Chain A
Amino acid sequence: AQSVAQPEDQVNVAEGNPLTVKCTYSVSGNPYLFWYVQYPNRGLQFLLKYITGDNLVKGSYGFEAEFNKSQTSFHLKKPSALVSDSALYFCAVRAQPNTPLVFGKGTRLSVIA
């Protein structure tokens, strides 16, 4: 079975500082990993994905994530946080084609001016 763990319910960071939102996964086979962001009462917006290739993935709005197979992690990072980055972030995984994504519980990011 596939699973995703986001160990932090809440991450607080000062504007301009780097941010990290953690994600670890468990899946049999090669993982397809995704990060999404959700603003209040809105659907999910895609940030980035890892399918294969370079372990460092660059995505939307200056976000990036590093796939670490040995640690089964896919942490989301940004060098300099903005107040507008404050939102709910979800990590998701899928192992097989045509199967739905399995989501972590989400991490609320709060960027303080």
Chain B
Amino acid sequence: GAVVSQHPSWVICKSGTSVKIECRSLDFQATTMFWYRQFPKQSLMLMATSNEGSKATYEQGVEKDKFLINHASLTLSTLTVTSAHPEDSSFYICSARVTPRTEPFYGYTFGSGTRLTVV
């Protein structure tokens, strides 16, 4: 089945540093990747949509200069949290749209998430 591998699973970084989160589609081509953020005990909030080879589309209120998204290939999308601060601490999840030709078709597959803690 379609699998998205997300790394790292968790990361602790100092305030002011940058952190890169990777999502790789292992056995299919992910032309579209969605990035979500989840606060404790809350739902997933869409941050941005990235399409391979083009600029990401950010949701209202999401700082594009802070959350840099790169989707340079059909199998890799990255989210870089720049100059991280404690308020950026959260759980970040990527999701790729699975095309009908990929079995089993269930629409979307999710990475396992990255727990970011900024100290």
Which residues from chain A sit less than 8 Å from chain B, CB to CB?
Answer: 32, 34, 36, 41-46, 49, 90, 94, 98, 100-106
Q: Which residues of B contact A98 (CB under 8 A)?
A: 32, 97
Q: Which 8 residue pairs spanning A and B have beta carbons closest together? A: A43-B112, A44-B110, A43-B110, A105-B43, A100-B34, A43-B113, A103-B44, A103-B43
Q: Which residues of A contact B97 (CB under 8 A)?
A: 98
Chain B window 30-66, contacts with chain A (Cβ cutoff 8 Å), 1 for yes, 0 for no: 0010100000011110100100000000000000000
Which residues from chain B sit less than 8 Å from chain A, CB to CB?
Answer: 6, 9-10, 32, 34, 41-44, 46, 49, 91, 93, 95, 97, 106-113, 115
For chain B, what secondary structure do more than half of its interface residues adopt (helix, strand, loop), or is it mixed? strand
Number of A-B contacts (CB under 8 A): 52
Instruction: Decide yes or no: A100 and B107 within 8 Å by CB, A41-B113, A42-B112 being known contacts.
Output: no
10 A-B pairs besides A41-B9, A42-B113 with CB distance below 8 A are: A34-B107, A43-B93, A43-B110, A44-B95, A46-B106, A46-B109, A90-B43, A94-B107, A101-B107, A106-B42
A104 to B44 Cα, complex, angstroms: 8
Q: Which residues of A contact B115 (CB under 8 A)?
A: 41
Chain B's nearest CB lies how many Å from the CB of A20? 20
Chain A's nearest CB lies how many Å from the CB of B85? 22
